[in-house]
A and B are shown apart, each in its own frame.
Chain A
Amino acid sequence: AQSVTQLGSHVSVSEGALVLLRCNYSSSVPPYLFWYVQYPNQGLQLLLKYTSAATLVKGINGFEAEFKKSETSFHLTKPSAHMSDAAEYFCAVSLAGGTSYGKLTFGQGTILTVHP
């Protein structure tokens, strides 16, 4: 079975500051890892995904994440926050095999607030 833990249900940063959203996972087989974003009144949008290629993954809107197997982490970062980054962010894992093949398991979500 797999699980995801997002540290911090709310993160607040100033505009221009570093954004760091933390995600740790557990899985019994090699995982695929994802970050999704949900803007107010919208659906889930894929920011980036790790599918066992490069461990540093670049996504849309200047976000990136690094897969660290030794730490079972997949933290999301952005060097400089913009007001438009305010949203809820979800880390998710799926498995490349096993009985849970194909389904996503989500973290609890982190609401990012950006202050002027």
Chain B
Amino acid sequence: EAGVTQFPSHSVIEKGQTVTLRCDPISGHDNLYWYRRVMGKEIKFLLHFVKESKQDESGMPNNRFLAERTGGTYSTLKVQPAELEDSGVYFCASSPGDRVGYGYTFGSGTRLTVV
């Protein structure tokens, strides 16, 4: 089966611009997660979708971040306007509905650099 796909793999934008990251989960996986690693820090949870609904968005840093999951398939994470501190690697993961909590598959990540 195809894995979790993220794109772009790298993005360099200027402060104040908008960037949209995309994640395509494994087909049929109801659960989709976004995580972020800022340089020098641990990987942190951003939010969790179950199908198209936000189950938990407690990790979203502020209202400049907007996540959507259209029709319960792919997800986008938009940062608008981007700030320097948003730089980092953004990971997406998905898991089947019957393996919540342990059936994760991660994508390769998007490295975002805000200059």
Contact = CB atoms under 8 A, between A and B. Distances in A.
Contacts of B101: 32, 94-96, 101-102
B74 interface: no
B14 interface: no
A44 B106 contact: yes
A44 B10 CA distance: 16
A107 B48 contact: no
A8 to B, nearest CB: 14
Given A51-B102, A90-B43, A103-B33, A43 B48 contact: no
Given A43-B107, A44-B91, A109-B42, A104 B100 contact: no
B91 A107 contact: no
Interface residues of A, number: 25
B42 A106 contact: yes
A33 B91 CA distance: 19
Interface in B35-78: 35, 41-45, 48, 55-56, 59
User: Which 5 A-B pairs rank lowest in CB-CB distance, beginning with the nearest?
Assistant: A43-B108, A106-B43, A44-B106, A32-B102, A103-B45
A106 B48 CA distance: 15
B44 to A, nearest CB: 7
Interface residues of B, number: 24
Nearest to A43: B108
Interface in B79-115: 91, 93, 95, 100-102, 104-109
Contacts of A101: 100-101
Contact of B31 (A32, A36, A45, A102): A102
A111 to B, nearest CB: 12
B32 to A, nearest CB: 11
B43 A94 contact: no
A2 B83 CA distance: 29
18 contacts: A36-B106, A42-B108, A43-B91, A43-B106, A44-B109, A45-B106, A90-B43, A92-B43, A95-B101, A96-B101, A102-B48, A103-B56, A103-B59, A104-B35, A104-B45, A106-B43, A109-B42, A109-B43
